[in-house]
Amino acid sequence: MSIKQQVRLIKEGKISVVDYVKDILKQSAKINDELKCLNYFAKEESIKRAEILDKELKQKTNGKLFGIPITAKDDLCVKGMPTTSGSTILRNYKPPYNATCIEKVLMEKGIIIGKTCQDEFGFGSFNTNTSLDFERPLNPFDKERTTGGSSGGAAAFVQKANFPTVALAESTGGSIVNPASFCGVVGLCPTYGLVSRYGLIDYANSLDKIGTIGKTVEDAELLLDIIKGFDPLDPTSIKQESKKINIKEIAIQKEALDVDKEVKDLFLETLKKLKIKYKEVSLPLTAKYAIPAYYIIAMSEASTNLAKYCGMRYGKEEEIKDDFNEYFSKIRSSYFGREAKRRIILGTFARMAGYRDAFYVKALKARSLIIQEYKKVLKDYPVIATPTMPLIAPKFKDITKLTPLQNYMMDILTVGPNLAGLPHLSVNAGFISKMPCGIMFTGDHLGENTIIEIGKKVENIS
């Protein structure tokens, strides 16, 4: 059942919101016990919210998400609800305000039932970089495999739930479409600036985008339509509306075919079933420079954003016994995870005087060239198709054998659209060895409607 159908049943008075939500919470508790999807389970808050909605229902109050359970990634601020971005350094932090996207969900009468698990501050492709406070989420299809990251908890929960639900997620370099592919759900990442970032705990300001994960393209689209729009609280948010272009022929990226053979075969088979013309195009700059440019820019911005977590005003606090430098070092050493420390060190190095021109400035120039390369292709083709990930979800035991660089290379297909701020959508294309595998469609800026259209066609043939 779709979200729209469920909302219709609730509005017709055929279902008590309180009874419905209590049943949902029972099911959600079982899902969380099995898959470790949630950093915080908002049981009491959800019941109180349902009681309010039951009263509003009698007054014929409208809302596109009336009574629908929504999960939010743990880097999105929810008033009074623990919000940690998956980090011990933010343990017990409860925001005094809501993120703009949360406010919009509440205005449409949605219910935030929990905060989903993620890599610490979004630092990871496998959701294994969780802090000591949280367990890593497990893939619904095989508990020995990763959910993907960093929005892994959201994707796993949406897949496992047998009730209408949709998740608020966030992407910096692929954190929406990556877990969507590994968990067999729909991941929709919008144009940079289409959704306000106010209330998002930053990873990298020029790259972060709030998007949606749903069971279907329709559900993911519905939530995006609700949360998008200009926000005076976010100077990077935009006023333009998404546009739609008729699809006559699409492009497939030549370099993206250098993936596992089974992934490639499924990708090409899906395109064949779509019965749409496609042409192979090359994006050589993206293939060569997207990964290094992305990680230099992202880590540089992350090291700046995380500087405030020093044990004074922001982050975990302790009694100050030594001088400030020793105190700051003690707090950051004790409460940041290993990957966070690595990215802080690398990012600080890349933007230091003497190295800034050699690394950070060059990465920005490469980013500009990558954007130009994408725009040139998208001028002739409204959509670029690629596999979402180069492989199916790997097993945890295999991930432990990867070097940091090999971990970063897993984002080879997703960092390009994120660097360019382009909208992209992952839809399940089928299964390989009983594990889901996604196909990704990238459109021009504000081309959400175009990629959504082709995503729905993939659903119809799957």
Mean pLDDT of the chain: 96
pLDDT of residue 245: 85
Percent of the chain at pLDDT above 90?
93
pTM for this model (two decimals): 0.97
SS3 187: strand
Lookup: tokens for 138: 């497990």
List the beta bridge partners of residue 70. Answer: 112, 166
Looking at residue 353, what is its pLDDT? 86
Task: Name, in order, each residue with C-beta under 8 angstroms of 139's C-beta and a sequence gap of 6 or more.
Answer: 35, 145, 146, 147, 156, 182, 183, 393, 435
Report the half-sphere exposure of 372 (CA within 13 A, side-chain side).
Answer: 7
Cα–Cα distance, 336 to 314 (Å, whole number): 13
> How many residues appear in the chain?
462
What domain count does the chain have? Answer: 1
For residue range 331-374, what is the model confidence (pLDDT) as tens digits?
Answer: 999 999 999 999 999 999 999 988 999 999 999 999 999 999 99
> Which of 28, 36, 46, 73 does the annotation list as catalytic?
73
Instruction: Identify whether 67 is part of a domain.
Output: yes
Catalytic-labelled residue, pool 125, 131, 171, 175: 175
Look up residue 430 and give its two tokens.
């089928």
Distance CA 121, CA 46 (A): 25
Residue-wise DSSP of 230-262: --TT-TT---PPP-----SEEEEEGGGG-S-HH
Please compute the mean of the pLDDT values over residues 119-140 and round it to a whole number: 96
Is 150 among the residues known to form the active site? yes
Residues 6+ apart with CB under 8 A from 39: 74, 82, 84, 86, 114, 115, 116, 117, 118, 133, 134, 153
Q: Residue 1: inside a domain, yes or no?
A: yes
Split at pLDDT 50, 70, 90, the class of 462 is low
Examine the residue annotation and report whether 215 is marked as an active-site residue of this protein. Answer: no
CA distances, 423 to each of 174, 192, 242, 361, 401 (Å) = 11, 8, 10, 25, 33
- Domain assignment of residue 335, yes or no: no
208, 170 contact by CB (below 8 A): yes
pLDDT of residue 322: 82
Give the CA radius of gyration of the chain: 21
Q: Which residue in the list 28, 46, 85, 150 is annotated as catalytic?
A: 150
Q: Among 223-237, 309-323, 370-384, whose mean pLDDT is lowest?
A: 309-323
The answer to whether the CB of 308 falls within 8 A of the CB of 336 is no
List, for residues 405-452, the tens digit of each pLDDT value. Answer: 999 999 999 999 999 999 999 999 999 999 999 999 999 999 999 999
pLDDT above 90 for 200: yes
329 occurs within a structural domain: no
The answer to whether 67 and 109 have CB atoms below 8 angstroms apart is yes
Q: Which helix (H) or strand (E) holds 69?
A: strand 69-73
pLDDT for 459:
95
Q: Which domain holds residue 162?
A: 1-279+384-462
How far is 158 from 160, CA to CA, in rounded Å?
A: 6
Pick from 12, 81, 16: nearest CA to 44: 81
pLDDT band at 15 (very low <50, low <70, confident <90, very high): confident
DSSP notation for 103-145: HHHHHTT-EEEEEE--SGGG--SSS----TTSPPP-BTTBTTB
Contact of 371 with 294, CB cutoff 8 Å = no
H/E element, 436: strand 435-443
* 347 within domain boundaries: no
Is 345 a member of any domain? no
Residue 243 has which token pair? 């546009």
- Token look-up 């926000």 returns 231
Q: Count each helix (H run) and each strand (E run) in the chain, helices first.
A: 16, 11
Q: What tokens does 61 get?
A: 């109050």
* Pairwise CA distance, residues 263 & 412, whole Å: 14
CA 258 – CA 432 distance, rounded (Å): 17
Residue 38, strand partner residues: 116
Known catalytic membership, residue 206: no
The closest alpha carbon to 333, from 88, 134, 86, belongs to 88
Here the CATH number for the domain that contains residue 66 is 3.90.1300.10
* CA-wise closest residue to 346 among 296, 294, 290: 296
Is the residue at 216 inside a domain? yes
Please report, as a single letter, which amino acid is at residue 11.
K
Angle, helices 217-227 vs 448-461, to 10°: value is: 160
Nearest to 448 by CA among 268, 125, 223: 223
Mean of the pLDDT values across residues 3-26? 94
DSSP-assigned letter for residue 179: H
Burial class (CB in 10 A: 0-12, 13-18, 19+), 322: exposed
pLDDT tier at 402, thresholds 50, 70, 90: very high
Instruction: Find the farthest-apart pair of alpha carbons in the chain and give their distance in angstroms, rounded.
Output: 69
Give a yes or no: residue 323 inside a domain: no
